[in-house]
Amino acid sequence: MDNREVLIEAVNVKKYFPVKRGWFERGERKTVKALDGVSLVLYKGETLGVIGESGCGKSTLARVIMQLVPATAGEVYYKGNKVTPENIMQFRRQVQMVFQDPYSSLDPRMSVGRIIEEPLRVHMKGLTAVQKEEIVRPVVAKVGIEYEALVKYPHEFSGGQRQRIGIARAMVTNPELLICDEPVSALDMSIQAQVLNLFKGLQKELGFSYLFISHDMSVIKHVSDRIAVMYLGKIVELADKKELFDNTLHPYTKALMNAIPVPDPTVESMKADLTGEPPSPINPPKGCSFHERCPYATARCSEETPHLTDMGNGHMVSCHLCHGAEREVENA
């Protein structure tokens, strides 16, 4: 029996954005289906990586779980309790967010000290200056920023330091979960590795859980315990990292894996099977939304939508090809 504590559970979450109509457009108003029925759980102490191409809905998923945008349908639970307007402040103290862009996510008019203290002003009102310092000083030490530098402004720091400041701001209320939305994609490669190692070190020391979003499979591979692969607003594969890499099932995941750069020049890099662009989320194709790009697509794939199915060992996949293999095993 699985006795891991569930921190977050998202149940059939949908997020549709209405599309603005042109002056002469008539008829039914169109919607972008950014999330189209996403369900997942995140366990205490783990890093759940979410990967997919730009526009697959992974950042919208982060924002809906964080309640920064309302879901069109579905529910989000925190430790078994549905997140509602009544308990949102308690939820946000325990679940904080690290944003993608360390340049625009810090207010340039505020000193870094004030930026890091901001969540304390919202969630722990009435603290004295001494009490705030007692909280902030060890937090900034853990992310590698000197306390004396907090009088400076964001533009006086490098990109990597600014992301460390963003992490300190997220840590200051002592949350259980950090939702990290592409937290290293705006950084140079060498700085990326330092920040990723910082995330791992903080998790080991403080027991954080992470929902870690990236479009880069090598980043996701480095940080994750389990990995969810998203395509056009849906999860198409979800498994433990080792299982996903040893036994990749979905053709889209295989294509993402093949796109990971190979550091050895003597090894011929496998070309990604992925061709073309993802279809429009305003008008997704019938059947499997990946069928127009899938090298294994059959007639069934363009007619019938596959459902996310547990193939055993918690390895979930949404693909007729794999489900057929499962039936063959069942019938053997």
Which residues would be at the binding site for ligand SF4 (CB under 6 A)? 250-251, 288, 290-291, 294, 296-297, 301, 306, 319-321
Q: Which is nearer to ligand SF4, 112 or 256 (CB)?
A: 256
Q: Which is nearer to ligand SF4, 215 or 250 (CB)?
A: 250
Min. distance of Cβ 286 from ligand SF4 in angstroms?
11
Both structure tokens of 177: 């979960």
Min. distance of Cβ 102 from ligand SF4 in angstroms?
36
Taking residue 240's Cβ as centre, other Cβ atoms within 10 Å add up to: 17
Its sign, for the CA torsion 39, 210, 310, 239, is positive
What are the backbone angles phi and psi of residue 221, rounded to the nearest 5°? -65, -35
Q: Which is nearer to ligand SF4, 99 or 290 (CB)?
A: 290
Q: How far apart are CA 256 and CA 234, in angstroms?
A: 16
- DSSP classification of residue 174: -
Min. distance of Cβ 52 from ligand SF4 in angstroms?
14
Q: How far apart are CA 220 and CA 212, in angstroms?
A: 8
| b/e code 155-169 from CB counts within 10 Å (16+ = b) | eebebbbbbbbbbbb
Q: How far apart are CA 38 and CA 56, in angstroms?
A: 12
Q: Which is nearer to ligand SF4, 131 or 309 (CB)?
A: 309
* Cα-trace Rg, the chain: 21
First to last CA, the chain: 27
Min. distance of Cβ 32 from ligand SF4 in angstroms?
21
Q: Which is nearer to ligand SF4, 82 or 307 (CB)?
A: 307
Three-state DSSP state, 33: strand
Min. distance of Cβ 51 from ligand SF4 in angstroms?
16
Dihedral over alpha carbons 258, 259, 263, 269 (to 10 degrees):
60
Min. distance of Cβ 314 from ligand SF4 in angstroms?
20
Q: Which is nearer to ligand SF4, 74 or 279 (CB)?
A: 279
